[in-house]
Amino acid sequence: MAKSQATFMKKQLEKNRQKKKEDKQQRKEDRKKNSNSGDMESMMAYVNEFGELTSTPPENNNY
């Protein structure tokens, strides 16, 4: 009887490992699909006339 329980536990542990591996792969694909890093526009920062960082480009007002 001990052998069958040991075999059952091994199978359960292997199922759990496989499930974790699949979940990790799915999260990796989701991050890759939803990421917007690397986009030059998202990395740009501008400094306004007050010295503050902004994400919008400054307006060219020549006084």
Task: Give the pLDDT confidence score for residue 38 in this predicted structure.
Answer: 63
Q: Report the share of the chain in percent with pLDDT over 70.
A: 84
Dump pLDDT digits (tens) for 14-36: 999 999 999 999 999 999 888 76
Dihedral of CA atoms 41, 44, 48, 51 in degrees, nearest 10, equals 160
Model confidence at 50: pLDDT above 70 = yes
Q: Residue 54: helix, strand or coil by DSSP?
A: strand
**Cβ contact 30:20 at 8 Å:** no
Task: Give the pLDDT confidence score for residue 61 in this predicted structure.
Answer: 64
Top-confidence residue, 3 or 18: 18
CA distance 46 to 57: 6
**Residues near 54 by beta carbon (within 8 Å), at least 6 away in sequence:** 45, 46, 47, 48
Query: Average model confidence (pLDDT) for the chain?
Result: 85
